[in-house]
Amino acid sequence: MKDMTVSTKLSDIKRSWHLFDAKGKILGRISSEIAKALIGKSKPYFVNNLDCGDYVVVINASEIKVSGKKEIQKKYSRHSGYPGGYKEETLVELRQRNPTEIIRFAVLGMLPQNKLRAKMLARLFIFKDEEHSYKDKFKSQNSKIKTKAKTEEKKA
C-alpha cells in the first residue's frame, strides 16, 4: 500500500490566542512576530491557500519604540481619492491621534497581499494600554508569561 498525501482542511485548523505586550518593544520586531502568528506559519499543518492563523491581542501599543530617527522622519500617507485629498502625517502625529494604527500599519505590510489578508487582519486586536476585553481568553497567567517569554527569547 502506498503512502497518501493528506491535505489540510478548514475543519482541521485549531486557532489559539496569543497576547503580545508592546511596552518597550521595537516596532518592526514585534510586528513580524504578530504577522507570523496571524498567518499561522509556525503550525505543522500550514498551507498557503487556507487561513491557518491564530488570534492576536496586543496591549500597550502607545508605548512602542522605534529605532533611529524614525520618530520624526517616518511618514504615513493616504489619499481620499478626491483632488487635493493627499494627507501625510509623521509617526509622532499618528501616535498622538491613534497609537494602535502604528502597529496595524506595520503588520498590514507584513501580511500576504491576497484574499486572506482581510480575514487575518480581522483577528488582530490592538489596545493602547493594559486594559482589554479578551481577558477571559487568557484565564491562566501562564499563557501570558509564555507569550512574553517567547518574544523575549527570540530577541536574545
Q: Is 112 helix (H, G, I), strand (E, B) or coil?
A: coil
- 14-44: pLDDT as tens digits: 999 999 999 999 999 999 999 999 999 989 9
- Say whether pLDDT at 60 is over 70: yes
Average pLDDT over residues 47-56: 93
Structure-block grid coordinates of residue 72: 520624526
- Say whether pLDDT at 6 is over 60: yes
The per-residue pLDDT for 140 is 66
Q: What is the chain's Cα-based Rg?
A: 18
Please report, as a single letter, which amino acid is at residue 13. I
- Rounded to an integer, what distance in angstroms lies between the CA atom of residue 135 and that of residue 132? 7
- Rounded to an integer, what distance in angstroms lies between the CA atom of residue 108 and that of residue 83? 26
The per-residue pLDDT for 142 is 56
- 65-84: pLDDT as tens digits: 999 999 989 999 999 999 99
- Say whether pLDDT at 145 is over 50: no
- 126-136: pLDDT as tens digits: 999 999 999 88
pTM for the model stands at 0.84
Percent above pLDDT 70 for the chain: 88
Domains of the chain are 16-66+97-134+146-151 (3.90.1180.10)
The 3-class secondary structure across 22-91, one letter per residue, is CCCCEHHHHHHHHHHHHHCCCCCCCCCCCCCCCEEEEECHHHCECCCCHHHHCEEEEECCCCCCEEEEEH
Q: Is 5 helix (H, G, I), strand (E, B) or coil?
A: coil
The answer to whether residues 88 and 77 touch, using CB atoms and an 8 Å cutoff, is yes
